[in-house]
Amino acid sequence: MATISIPSPFRKFTAQEPEFQSKATTVNGLLQDLVATYPDIKKNLFTPEGQLLQFIKVYKGEEDIQEMNGVQTTIGEQDQLTIIPAIAGG
């Protein structure tokens, strides 16, 4: 199963779990599985219309999925993904 790392600030939404695994074959499938398991994380990942938030990035290995095929990027059992949270200040 592919594994996605949850950044520490988002672990409040995942019962403090640092990782999530899914049998999905695309990034979108994995994220949908994640949201189905931990619904509270949804608003920190997606717009109300279901698009990945602009400043949330997902990396597959060391590469931004936007440089590949976006959320339709395919993933395999050995893939390691990372969510990059949006960070801003006043």
Residues at the site binding other proteins, with contacts judged by CB under 8 A = 7-13, 16, 18, 43-44, 54-57, 59, 64, 82, 84-90
We find the least distance from the C-beta atom of residue 69 to other proteins, in angstroms, to be 18
Nearer to other proteins, 18 or 25 (CB): 18
3-state secondary structure of 66: helix
Q: How far, in Å, are 26, 29, 45, 73, 86 from residue 89 at the CA level?
A: 32, 31, 18, 31, 10
Tell me how far, at minimum, the Cβ of 23 lies from other proteins, in Å: 25
Nearer to other proteins, 64 or 77 (CB): 64
61 backbone φψ class: left, alpha, beta (φ>0; ψ -120 to 50): left
In the complex, the smallest distance separating the C-beta of residue 71 from other proteins, rounded to whole angstroms, is 15
Q: What is the biggest distance separating any 2 CA atoms in the chain, rounded to whole angstroms? A: 41
